[in-house]
Amino acid sequence: MKQINYLLFDLDGTLVDSVPDLTTSLNLLRRELDCSPITGQQVASIVGDGVTILVKRALGEELYQSAHRDRFLQLYDEHLLDNTRCYPGIEELLNGYPADKMAIVTNKPYQLTMKLLDGLNLTRHFNMIVGGDSYAEKKPHPLPVIKALEGLSADPKQAVMIGDHHTDLYSGRNAGTATCFCAYGLGHSNSLKSDFRAEQPTDLLQLFPGSSFD
């Protein structure tokens, strides 16, 4: 296996468990629309393809309006850090690499991404942070990964895109990086093969120990 020197991470379902706060925010929106609440398990199954699709899935195509997306973002901004936390082992993993070797590539809007990272004291770990609205395309398109690689001055052959959704695998593969599927997360691989696989968050410590950067 080729040498991995650069780590590119998805955020939700990969580094942090944000399902409780996403569930709270979606259910507050549903309550305003006189809809019954949905479960965290249901929310986990619809995350990963950006905010618009998330809200459409949570409300249904027939009910959805663009104003509902805007209202959800307001609610989520208020509850973003109520219960969202890093998965076990993630902070240890991030401490093993310098910031110039790591990036975030998420479909979460950039402003919310920065607020979440700042709130969890994670921003310092990443020299490049790409949100779902940072460029004209988002994952599964390769552009966000390509831009992250450019920001790190990284050779894609020495990088891995780490995430819990097939969008991460498509984006990384088509940008020329290795891929790592996080089976513990919220998404699914869509039967795509990956170069690495983490069944638990702590598996990432063994897959990418970062010892050469100590």
- Which candidate, 4, 182, 196, places its Cα nearest to that of 90? 182
Same fold, 6-17+86-213 and 19-79: no
- Asked whether the beta carbons of 97 and 210 are under 8 A apart, the reply is yes
| Angle 21-22-23 from CA coordinates, rounded to 5° | 90
Is the pTM higher than 0.85? The answer reads yes
Note the Cα 161 to chain centre separation in Å: 11
Q: Which regions of 30-176 does DSSP assign to beta strands (E)?
A: 85-86, 102-105, 128-130, 159-163
Q: Quick one: pLDDT at residue 3?
A: 86
Residue 139, both tokens: 């994952």
* DSSP alpha helix (H) spans, 9-95: 19-32, 40-44, 51-59, 66-79, 90-95
Q: Which range is least confidently modeled, 3-7, 20-24, 46-50?
A: 46-50
pLDDT of 49 reads: 84
In the 8-state DSSP scheme, what is residue 90? H
**What's domain 6-17+86-213's architecture?**
3-Layer(aba) Sandwich (3.40)
Q: Using the 8-state DSSP alphabet, how is residue 190 labeled?
A: T
pLDDT of amino acid 32: 97
149, 158 contact by CB (below 8 A)? no
Confidence bin at 211 (pLDDT 50/70/90):
low
Percentage of residues in the chain having pLDDT higher than 70: 97
CB-based contact 177:8 (threshold 8 Å): yes
The pLDDT value given to residue 214: 43
Catalytic residue status for 164? no
For residue 200, pLDDT beyond 70: yes
Mean pLDDT of the chain: 95
Q: Rounded to an integer, what distance in angstroms lies between the CA atom of residue 137 and that of residue 57?
A: 20
pLDDT at 84 over 90: yes
Q: Which pLDDT band holds residue 150 (cuts at 50, 70, 90)?
A: very high
Band of residue 187 on the pLDDT scale cut at 50, 70, 90: confident
CATH number of the structural domain 19-79: 1.10.150
- Reported confidence tier of residue 83, pLDDT bands at 50, 70, 90: very high
Gap between the terminal Cα atoms of the chain:
21
Residue count of the chain: 214
Domain boundaries, the chain: 6-17+86-213, 19-79
The pair of structure tokens assigned to 14 is 């990969």
